[in-house]
Amino acid sequence: MPHQTTTSASQVQVKHNSVVAVDEVSIDEEAAPKKHKGGYKQINKSLNICVFEGFLEAQLARLPEIADVEQLTPRVLRVLGQNAGKFTLQGTNTYIIGTGAKRLLIDTGQGIPEWAGIISSTLAKMSISLSHVLLTHWHGDHTGGVPDLIRLYPHLADSIYKHTPSSTQNPISDGQVFTVEGATVRAVHAPGHSHDHMCFVLEEENAMVTGDNILGHGTAAVEHLSTWMASLVVMQKQNCGIGYPAHGVVVKNLPGKIALELAAKRRRETQVLRALVQIGSGASVGKLVSAMHGDELDPEVRRMAVEPFIGEVLKKLAEDGKVAFRVRHGEKSWFAIA
């Protein structure tokens, strides 16, 4: 059921970020932000999907600094999660949505204490409070701040919403609408990066909070590539012009960014097929990555980002009937189907 709160409007100052286009490039550690709180290892030690396939691209970009707190539009306030790191880029973006005294929060960062402090001081300074907390998905760099938030604001314990919720959370269904003064937020189930991934359309701005499906820099890793690509098509059909991503700057041309992502993944499928044909005798994921990228990749990036993504490409190509595998010595050996 929709949830509505009516309160008075507040005046804010508007400031927009620019978008940096990133193409395929190599790694440059010096280009990453210098404060390294958080990062993949603190998100989930056993998870190899909550990383950026676009890390290889985004690392060379001179990533613009993102302010701790920035009013992007009259109804969108971005608060940075304070978890910048090797795989989180500038950190997780969390968004306070609305114009009145009670507002929505989308995502809670990774559980970094500084984020909770910034949220608390920001709410106090603006004389506003939170009515609901919406989570884009279950990954720890989006849900980690929930305990601190409930500690600070116990009334929120019954107002945490997520698709496929835990026993203490409320469910979000596709098409569900949440309203506060100045903002109508519609949920869109868009799985693939994770099974429970949600995006949120901000109707008044023709904008979408894209979570990890579309990033401000580079591109995201996924649990299931074909599902993610289908979700991008669903996102396209919402006809939103602006994207508020979970990592990176505002995406000013969301339709264009989605089109580029789809084209890039199809290009990568072609590259994987070509590499398999050139190898000829069949290849493990590791051998295929070496053939495509050489052996100079950072071992952590290779293990946690590149190899899982190439594995997902192979699964999609298998679903499309373009590749198959045989098991040799307990390892899958992939080959192209003529």
Per-residue pLDDT for the chain (338 aa), expressed as one digit of tens each?
Answer: 333 332 222 222 222 222 222 222 222 222 333 333 333 333 333 233 333 344 445 454 578 899 999 999 999 999 999 998 767 889 999 999 999 999 999 999 999 999 999 999 999 999 999 999 999 999 999 999 999 999 999 999 999 999 999 999 999 999 999 999 999 999 999 999 999 999 999 999 999 999 999 999 888 778 889 999 999 999 999 999 999 999 999 999 999 999 999 998 899 999 999 999 999 889 999 999 999 988 888 888 888 888 888 998 999 999 999 999 999 889 999 999 96
233 with 323, same domain: the answer is no
Angle at 230 between CA 224 and CA 235, to 5 degrees: 120
127 with 240, same domain: the answer is yes
Buried b (16+ CB within 10 A) or exposed e, 212-223: bbbbbbbbbbbb
180 with 311, same domain: the answer is no
How many helices (H) and strands (E) would you count in the chain?
A: 10, 14
- Sequence-distant (6+) residues with CB within 8 A of 21 are none
Per-residue confidence (pLDDT) for residue 328, from 0 to 100:
82
309 with 199, same domain: the answer is no
Residue 181's domain comprises: 52-252
184 with 107, same domain: the answer is yes
282 with 231, same domain: the answer is no
Per-residue confidence (pLDDT) for residue 40, from 0 to 100:
32
Q: Which class for 237: exposed (0-12), middle (13-18), buried (19 or more C-beta within 10 A)?
A: exposed
277 with 246, same domain: the answer is no
191 with 241, same domain: the answer is yes
Which CATH number does the domain housing residue 135 bear?
3.60.15.10
Cβ atoms within 10 Å, residue 166: 11
Q: How far apart are CA 23 and CA 170, in angstroms?
A: 39
Number of domains composing the chain: 2
234 with 310, same domain: the answer is no
288 with 238, same domain: the answer is no
Per-residue confidence (pLDDT) for residue 338, from 0 to 100:
66
227 with 282, same domain: the answer is no
The structure tokens 């884009």 sit at: 136
What spatial distance separates the first Cα and last Cα of the chain, rounded to whole Å?
Answer: 52
Q: Are 106 and 149 in contact (CB under 8 A)?
A: no
248 with 276, same domain: the answer is no
Backbone dihedral region of 58: left (phi > 0), alpha (psi from -120 to 50 degrees) or beta? alpha
Tell me the pairing of strands 207-211 and 198-202.
Answer: antiparallel
Q: How many Cα atoms are found within 13 Å in the side-chain-facing hemisphere of 179?
A: 13
Tell me the pairing of strands 160-162 and 170-171.
Answer: parallel
Q: Residue 228: inside a domain, yes or no? A: yes
Which of the residues are catalytic? 141
Q: Which class for 39: exposed (0-12), middle (13-18), buried (19 or more C-beta within 10 A)?
A: middle
DSSP alpha helix (H) spans, the chain: 40-43, 55-58, 113-126, 140-143, 146-152, 225-236, 254-279, 285-293, 299-301, 307-319
